[in-house]
Amino acid sequence: MPFAVRIVSTSVEKEVVGVREAEAAPRSGPAHYIGGRFDREGTTFPLVNPVDGTVVGAVPEAGAGTVDRAVRAARDAVTGDWGRSTAEERGALLRRIADGIEDRFDEFVAAEVADTGKPVSLASTVDIPRAAANFRAYADLVWGRPERSFTSPTPDGAGALNYTVRRPLGVVAVVAPWNLPLLLLTWKVAPALAAGNAVVAKPSELTPSTATLLAEVMDTVGVPPGVFNLVHGFGEGSAGAMLTGHPGVDAVAFTGESATGTAIMRSVAERLAPVSFELGGKNPALVFADADFDAAVDGTVRSAFTNAGQVCLCTERVYVERAIFDDFVAALAERARALRVGRPEQDGTDMGPLVSAEHRDKVLDYYRLAEREGAKTHAGGAAPRFGDERDRGFFVEPTVLTGLAPDARAVREEIFGPVCHVAPFDDEVEAVRLANDSKYGLAATVWTSSLSRAHRVAPQLEAGIVWVNCWNLRDLRTPFGGVKASGIGREGGEHSLDFFSEPVNVCVKL
């Protein structure tokens, strides 16, 4: 029997099917969503506007009982009709979710900007469109996905037919970060649902709003109760640790800090639950003297300062061939000083605030540490002053540094802010050595006009993705992930579907 999709109308009172009116939630703030119902059970913590530091709302913190209810609701869904759904049915539902996001596009943009402080131009062209695209991409990928089959010999000569089918893992915990809240949440939720799993999601405590809007879309388009569940809270000692450590969770997909990934791995080790981790980065860019100079400067400005440097793929280490080093540093610093830092809704804003006071203080501490370690600051290095309420917000200046030793903490540790350190190199061998001299290995960028050099250098770099003469150019079908302390596994296209399902070989004696 196919699963039953709840077709609901926003014009009809939905208590008759046991579901709260979805339109009520955005007006009253973030809420849990468990088994098809919204609630705000638990004590609350403040939601803060990063632009001026004011408290703009309250978020319920899930306790152990709330998390347990969410996991049990997910288990009921995956062992019920949803677990017997077809790829065609799931694909159709994912397309409706994408449509639902687009129908409420302006609400999603406003919520993302309010939580993160990122420019409207960024949220409206990247975060929200990509969230809808994630659901459409996996709706297409899961339908008609081929599996292998082959015949093998048997002692009696009749042979056997072997073929592979895939089944969902079961209940999947999805823990998403605050820098790209909706994009990275849907990047995991979409393939998890496409593969037939039920999800319990926990967004960052700093950015809960678009996750709640996503739950409302799920509710409105008829996602069956328990298939998607949402709980709010913190990590250690709160909803995050309770969720990833819950014995009813069959797999964990997480994006965030490497230290948190380590803690999650410990929590799942006893039950051997599979994990997919996209973790930290200290990403290098290599700029060779034969590169298109202007393109390399433009690309490095983007890769260092997009979203105030709060992207796992951002460049924090820039290595430039000595012949063009001084000119490159001067040009990069000039561009950094010209970036417009301000209100996210203002036309022409290039960079908004950091996400929180704690994170602002961390980044400023690294600026001061770099200075103590001997850095020369060519641009930035402090918090801007506006002379208005924004001075109570969490802004920092885009910063360009030089002069640090390879073992300086500001060169080796992830800062996750709008900052890069630029150092010279003399030849290709040294460039590769410097780039690989890191415990991280998420992404790297190579700027050169030599096709031979590009193909020679890129495979030598210890990174999950290498861009040549571009940055953050993504095809959703390609593998994405890191090596070393930057992660475990790959996301994207069939790689995500492979993680969220397990192959079963069926052998039939002929």
Q: Give catalytic residue positions.
A: 278, 312
468: which strand partners? 446
* Secondary structure (3-state) at 289: coil
Closest by Cα among 174, 218, 232, 294 to 46: 232
Enter the DSSP assignment of 235. Answer: S
Closest by Cα among 22, 212, 246, 206 to 114: 206
Evaluated on CA atoms 2, 74, 254, 132, the torsion sign reads: positive
Closest by Cα among 222, 174, 164 to 198: 174
Token pair 């004590």 is at which residue? 43
Task: State how far the Cα of 214 lies from the Cα of 131, in Å rounded to an integer.
Answer: 10
* Secondary structure (3-state) at 193: helix
What length does the chain have? 510
Task: State how far the Cα of 20 lies from the Cα of 14, in Å rounded to an integer.
Answer: 6
Q: How many CA atoms lie within 13 A of 151 on its CB side?
A: 8
Is 199 in contact with 218 (CB distance < 8 Å)?
Answer: no
Per 3-state DSSP, the chain is made up of helix, strand and coil in percentages (nearest 5) of 40, 20, 40
Sheet of strand 160-168, all strands in order from the earlier edge strand to the far edge? 149-152, 160-168, 501-509
Angle at the Cα of 101 from the Cα atoms of 97 and 105, rounded to 5 degrees? 170
Is 489 in contact with 275 (CB distance < 8 Å)?
Answer: yes
Structure tokens at 208: 């809960």
- Looking at 117-257, list the stretches that DSSP marks H as alpha helix, in order from N- to C-terminal side: 120-122, 128-142, 181-194, 209-221, 239-244
Structure tokens at 399: 């910063």
Task: State how far the Cα of 368 lies from the Cα of 366, in Å rounded to an integer.
Answer: 5
Evaluated on CA atoms 395, 44, 19, 187, the torsion sign reads: positive
List of long-range contacts for 237-240, beta carbons under 8 Å, 24+ apart: 238/61, 238/62, 238/205, 239/61, 239/62, 239/63, 239/66, 239/67, 239/202, 240/175, 240/202
* Secondary structure (3-state) at 480: strand
Is 122 in contact with 471 (CB distance < 8 Å)?
Answer: no
Task: State how far the Cα of 75 lies from the Cα of 85, in Å rounded to an integer.
Answer: 15
